[in-house]
Amino acid sequence: MSSILIVDDSRLNLAFMENTLKSAGYEDVWTANSAQEAYERLGIQDEQAPRKPVAVDLILLDIVMPEVDGIEACRRIKSIPAYQDLPIIFLTADRAHFKEAFNVGGMDFIEKGGPDYELLARVQSALRLKKEMDARKEWESRVSKDLQLARHLQNSVLTPPLTEQGISIRSSFMQSSDVSGDMFYWKQFNEHQYGILLIDVSLSGIPAALISMSIRSLLDGIVGIYRRPKEVCAELNRQMRTLFGKMRRTVYFTAIYVMVDTNKRQLEYFNAGHTQGLLLTEGAPAERLSVTTEPIGMKQDMNTDIKVIDYTGDARIVLYTNGLITRPGTNPKTVIQELEQYAQSLLYLDNDAFLSKLARLNRQHDDVCIISIDLTSPVAEEVESEVKTEVEANTEVEAETAVEADANPESEPQA
């Protein structure tokens, strides 16, 4: 049932409109003969907004009133967030105030002394609009809650950080909206082989998230069974064509998959139309993990070309999605060169600090995912272990010396 508040300093006008509305079936009709009384009805007191809005669906507000006129009253009511969408129809016998009335948030007007049917028609129209606005807000609230849940679910399936002998994998995942088409995954096959995958769906928002989550549900099986880049690439494409090949619009995603062998000190990868990954080593130019084939799902029979890179010493692999290098009006090649130089200058940082620095490059607040893979040489690990052992040994010797000194204090020198 709709609630209507009539505000007018004329008791005659209040009685006329109240009777007209109730005769037309509107039973929940309130009246107020001043702006202050209207504020009290709405719970607006002492400049404080009400904790819970009063259930009012429409206000019929007289413009010309003593003390506080309808223009100021409307401005005050509309300043309360809970009442910003509340429709207000002005009552007036003078059109001189129309412009100002609409500027403060009035949605319509009714001329005093007009026929009953005009009053009822405008009231009915305003209440219909209020009902539609309430339905829209309720729908938006449900969608917002659903998107928050979807965001939580999407983040819950992301692979946690991994640290094993010779390798450390960390990630930074930034979403511009509640859900994203970016997705990463990695898997340890044995003590020295690992598969790392990063994808970026061509669409955006909810459609992109649905596709990325569909693919994510298959990754344990695909990567776990096929392992090697050539076979993983072929199976991902087959699954995409099976799932989405019959759609009118071609659905695809770019991807880069790297298989790391810390024993052979070797990378084997495919890059399906994705941004170029980087292999960074101290004192040497960055090596790009360039494109080897077209995006996944674009063609029925795609080539599955791969590349193999050997590395020596300590190294760091950086994989990222396109959002990191998207800058309107700037040549992407220039941005990639700047990224290479910047990443190279940060090699001294650990993975977490390194990722934090790179994440700041996301100036457009796009969907961005960054993966940093630290590859530590056995020699470096041995040196680190030896240094740690030596430090611990020195600490123990110092502790023992201190204990002996306490047990055998030096004698006082004799005169």
Model confidence over 326-344: pLDDT tens digits? 877 788 788 889 999 999 9
123/212 same-domain check = no
Beta pairing, strands 108-111 & 88-92: parallel
247/374 same-domain check = yes
Average pLDDT in the 219-248 region? 93
Q: At which of 148, 171, 200 does a domain end?
A: 148
pTM: 0.70
Question: Domain range for residue 227?
Answer: 162-381
Higher pLDDT, 10 or 389: 10
Residue 318 forms part of a structural domain? yes
Residue 405 forms part of a structural domain? no
Query: What secondary structure letter does DSSP report for 66?
Result: S
pLDDT value for 365? 66
pLDDT value for 381? 46
66/179 same-domain check = no
Residue 413 forms part of a structural domain? no
Beta pairing, strands 253-261 & 193-201: antiparallel
- The residue with tokens 């740690």 is 388
Q: At 296, give phi and psi (nearest 5°).
A: -70, 130
348/295 same-domain check = yes
127/194 same-domain check = no
**185: CB partners within 8 A, 6+ apart:** 159, 196, 197, 216, 219, 223
Higher pLDDT, 392 or 50: 50
Average pLDDT along the chain: 85
Domain count, the chain: 2
pLDDT at residue 413 tops 60: no
User: Residue 58 maps to which CATH number?
Assistant: 3.40.50.2300
Split at pLDDT 50, 70, 90, the class of 406 is low
How far is 98 from 90, CA to CA, in rounded Å?
A: 9
179/280 same-domain check = yes
pLDDT value for 104? 85
Residue 391 forms part of a structural domain? no
Lowest mean pLDDT among 35-39, 258-262, 297-301, 379-383: 379-383
How far is 170 from 147, CA to CA, in rounded Å?
A: 26
Q: b/e string for 272-306 if b means 16 or more Cβ within 10 A?
A: bbbbbbbbbbeeeebbebebbbbbbbbeeebebeb
Residue 396 forms part of a structural domain? no
Average pLDDT in the 92-114 region? 79
214/169 same-domain check = yes
Lowest mean pLDDT among 70-74, 233-237, 301-305: 70-74
Residue 291 forms part of a structural domain? yes
pLDDT value for 414? 43
User: Residue 345 maps to which CATH number?
Assistant: 3.60.40.10
111/185 same-domain check = no
Q: At which of 148, 174, 193 does a domain end?
A: 148
pLDDT value for 149? 81
10 Å CB burial of residue 213 (0-12, 13-18, 19+) is middle
Residue 388 forms part of a structural domain? no
- Whether residue 280 contacts residue 343, with contact meaning beta carbons closer than 8 Å, is answered with yes
DSSP SS3 for 234: helix
Number of H helices, E strands in the chain: 10, 16
